[in-house]
Chains A and B, each alone.
Chain A
Amino acid sequence: MIAPVSPEITAHAGGWARLRSQWRWYGPQWKYCLAVLGPVCLAYLVIRIIPIFDTAWMSLHNWSLVKPVKPFIGLENYVKLAGDPLFRLALYNTTLFAVVTVPVTLALAFTVAVLLDRPMHGRLENTYKFLFFLPVVPTMVPVSVVWKWIYDPSYGILNYALGFFGVPPQGWLINSSWAIWAIILMTVWKSVGYYMVLFLVGLKDIPVDYYEAASIDGATAWQRLTQITIPLMRPMLLFNVVIATIFAYNVFAQVYVMTEGPQGSPANPVRVIVMDMYENGFRFLKMGYASAEAMVLLVIVFVLTIVEFRFLRPKV
């Protein structure tokens, strides 16, 4: 005799059946998604996520790069960081760098993009775009080497040019007060073209009809910019602000190159977090301590990104 099936079991079985039928229905799409995204997610997990957890784990140890014994010390590295004047200096310099480079770069990039986003004669538009984008093409290291020469007190072209206006030669990189500003200037010059292109993409997406309608209604150029362009560019602005902030807090290559060698800048006036991290990790071999710095940097960038999303998210 077959036992009667309870209504709960029947309902449960029906749920499974529905799920199975849905799975069958979505099967090919799921499989496609898995096939396409799976390797990417796996690579992301291995290259990004696992190292973050590894770094967090290392930060809880007295992890020397060369010593075989790496004792667990809990939060001691973080406590040391809080009292480390070099880390505080690095944090201050990095924040100063970000606070100046992000708005200045984006304001310049946006201005250039708006100016270029209008009809021009012949190939002038492309020529300008090319010229502004040119500094983006070479990587940061060769650009930094070139700028180190530009800033050179004896043979630098900057001092040579300023000499025509009666300005005496300056030690742009060796002067503690100016060194960080010299690096900021170079970074802004290098980055404007990149964000300009992104802004141009956003500007092209704004329908021309809106501007035409506004013109018919008698809107001035300023009103068109503030009432149409900027509100519609918020998604692109948000993207650029987030990316620029992340890049700014991760600044390293230009600082490293410009402090390298006898003609380089002193390190402390331009000490940034990644440089401090690099020095502790790869020079003093204190990888646990450097990992704690990396975790702090991660938290800072994460919090800033959330704040930026909160304030710049398009209001629908």
Chain B
Amino acid sequence: MRQWRWIRPMMALTAVAVLLVAPLAALAGQPIKLTLWSGYPEMKPYFDAAAKYYNELHPNVTIEVSTFPLRDIERKYAVSLPTKSGPDIAETHLYIAQMHIENGSLVPNPNDVNSFLKSGVFHPLFVSDSTWQGKVYGVPVLFSLDSLLYNTQMFKEAGLSAPPKNWDEMISMGKKLTKYDAQGNVTRSGLGLRLFGAGSGVSAKWWYFLKSAGGELFEECAPGTNTYRAGYDNEAGRDTLKLYIDALYKHKIHEPKLKQDAEGFATQQAAMFVRESWLVGYMKKNAPNVQYAVAPLPAYKKTNTLLFWTNLYVTTSSKYPKEAWDFVMFMANGPKLKELEQILYTTVGWMPPRNDVQKRHANIYAEVPQYKYFAEVPSNYELYPYPRLSVTDEAFTKLAERLVKAYQDKSLLDNPAGITKVIHEAAEETNAILKENQLYCGK
């Protein structure tokens, strides 16, 4: 009879356990749908694969991946994140994310994510530049250095054995690589430059050269003041505009009527141009027969290049932030890391952002030599990030229109006063944008 005395307490304990565990068990099994938006359509195979792998481990979690052109997603984030109707996970660049961070639409990283980020698996700039007011936001998902792509076949034909190391070589080689018709019109650009199109693209490409010349889009007035002024109303700005004007009208190594940017390089209308590693995927798809190689950005007064990357952010729109972070970490440090990185290499073209990627893909540079200079920075190169101020896009877009107009103005050739005027007026506009947003510190 004695054993029966335990029955009541045991039953009570079981009932309590059932009451406590049952909801958790139900929650663990309930279907969860996460949404992920990306502004890089070429990344879709990567995210789809990650979603599939994650779903295999967590059958109750499905991830819906949507990709949009970069300009479209900026607007989608702008209208959806403040109203909490955005995705659970947003992939974007810091200059777009910054305004949403400032307005509380993106969630700061949990401690365990930060510990991982700071464990040394990423370049320190990834972490330091993703920090705002002491909190880190986002986990890197792709990166690339900006580098010079050059057509090796054209180099061979022109008797050139190595890519240019500085602006002088870039121009002299550009001259050798340019082809002209009987009337002297350029039929193949020695150096492809971005001269047209609305938006910020024109000035973003100009800015790479500006950085080499020692200039900035915004320069901080004093460290930590969070006030700025245009950083190109100086010799660097003037030199950079002169580089373009001379290339067009003095050296005649580029022709506006030819295809520009990636399309120009893929159609072999340009022998050299500057871009990021996604070009590898683009060329594989659109111009598999073009022989090309990649080299570090030609230096001028500074030897530097852009470190471009995007982060994955969990948004305050998410009803399942815990699961969203788990998925983000699954991509960054999960059991399928190698397979996902392989998709970046073979299909997408963007570089996996972890430092230790070589351990898992030892032969990648042998297989795709072009990747080397998109991923590995020469020791003498200084890296810089994209400007992160929330007014970057407006400043770049308005500067671009002034540059486009200047590129069409032949009178700027050998006209230092004209170039100074263009640069000064553009800088005044940039300063006005800063002033309007209470970010200007004065001259």
Contacts and interface: CB of A to CB of B under 8 A. Distances in A.
Decide whether A and B are members of one complex: yes
Given A174-B257, A284-B393, A268 B75 contact: no
A105 interface: no
A130 interface: no
B401 A263 contact: no
A283 B257 contact: no
Given A279-B397, A285-B99, A65 B405 contact: no
A122 interface: no
A266 B198 CA distance: 5
Interface in B237-283: 256-263, 267, 269
Contact of B82 (A65, A169, A170, A267): A65
Contact of B198 (A65, A168, A171, A259): A259
A279 B269 CA distance: 32
B103 interface: yes
A65 B78 contact: yes
A284 B183 CA distance: 44
B196 A260 contact: no
B79 interface: yes
B198 A262 contact: no
A266 B404 contact: yes
A144 interface: no
A154 B269 contact: yes
B197 A66 contact: no
Contact of A66 (B100, B263, B267, B394): B100
Contact of B401 (A66, A153, A267): A267
B103 A68 contact: yes
B407 to A, nearest CB: 9
A171 B257 contact: yes
A187 interface: no
Interface in A66-85: 66-68
B201 interface: yes
Most chain B beta-carbon neighbours within 10 Å: one of A170, A261, A262: A262
Contact of B78 (A68, A170, A174, A285): A285
B74 A283 contact: yes
A265 interface: yes
A267 B198 contact: yes
A262 B260 contact: yes
B226 interface: no
B75 A283 contact: yes
Contacts of B261: 262-263
Contact of B256 (A171, A268, A284): A171
Given A66-B82, A153-B258, A174-B256, A266 B405 contact: yes
A259 B199 CA distance: 9
Contacts of B401: 266-268
Given A65-B79, A268-B404, A284-B393, A263 B260 contact: yes
A86 B399 CA distance: 13
B304 interface: no
Contacts of A154: 257-259, 267, 269
Contacts of B78: 65-66, 282, 285
B408 interface: yes
Nearest to A155: B259
Given A66-B100, A263-B197, A268 B405 contact: yes
A235 interface: no
A86 B198 CA distance: 14
B405 A176 contact: yes
A265 B75 CA distance: 22
Contacts of B183: 168
B305 interface: no
Nearest to B104: A68
A135 interface: no
B436 to A, nearest CB: 9
B106 to A, nearest CB: 11
Interface string B77-120: 01101100000000000000001100101000000000000000
Given A260-B197, A264-B198, A283-B75, A67 B259 contact: no
Interface in B92-150: 99-100, 103, 105
A264 B197 contact: yes
B196 A265 contact: yes
A266 B79 contact: no
Contact of A262 (B197, B405, B408): B197
B194 interface: yes
Interface in B195-209: 195-199, 201
Contacts of B258: 153-154
Interface in A251-284: 259-268, 279, 282-284
A86 B267 CA distance: 35
Interface in A26-77: 65-68
A261 B197 contact: yes
A69 to B, nearest CB: 10
A67 B103 CA distance: 6
Nearest to A62: B436
Given A66-B78, A174-B257, A262 B393 contact: no
Most chain A beta-carbon neighbours within 10 Å: one of B183, B185, B197, B262: B197
Given A261-B197, A262-B196, A264-B198, 9 more contacts: A66-B100, A153-B256, A259-B197, A262-B201, A263-B196, A263-B197, A266-B401, A279-B397, A283-B75
18 contacts: A66-B78, A67-B103, A68-B82, A154-B258, A168-B185, A171-B257, A174-B257, A260-B198, A262-B194, A263-B259, A264-B196, A265-B197, A266-B405, A267-B198, A267-B404, A268-B401, A283-B74, A283-B397
Interface of B: 71, 74-75, 78-79, 81-82, 99-100, 103, 105, 183, 185, 194-199, 201, 256-263, 267, 269, 393-394, 397-398, 401, 404-405, 408
